[in-house]
Amino acid sequence: MKFFIALVLALAVCSFASAQGFDGGWLPIQYDPHNETLANYYIFGCEMSQVRAIQSGEDPNGDWVFIDVISLQYIISDGNNYRFNVAITEGTQGNATLTFVVNNSPLHLVSWQLD
């Protein structure tokens, strides 16, 4: 009987997490440009992503324009990780979404991807 109750509770928790869009522990948070810490992470991530994109040839002219933060997520893993999804304009190539992860321990760019 205890096993059955534990199984039902585990299924309920998993169903709730799935319904909430649980993504491997990433929690959505609201981006506030007036929050100095988040703004600094955003600026750092944008700058470092663009440097890496120029180096890799993704943005050879360095003409990305950062439009808006679409979403921001947070997870604790080897420090605090912040995953930004940002709308950008790629010069004459149109609009795209840049996703980058910044870790604050110490501050560094973990990854970036252009969609």
Structural domains in the chain plus CATH codes = 26-114 (3.10.450.10)
Which residue type occupies 40? N
Res. 4: pLDDT tops 90: no
Q: CB of 85 within 8 A of CB of 74? A: no
Strand order in the sheet with 27-29: 27-29, 64-76, 80-90, 95-104, 107-114
pLDDT tens digits for range 5-56: 544 455 554 444 444 444 568 999 999 999 999 999 999 999 999 999 999 9
Amino acid identity, residue 69?
V
60 token code pair: 């050879």
Least confident of 41-45, 51-55, 83-87, 92-96: 92-96
Share of the chain above pLDDT 70, in %: 79
For residue 115, what pLDDT is reported? 85
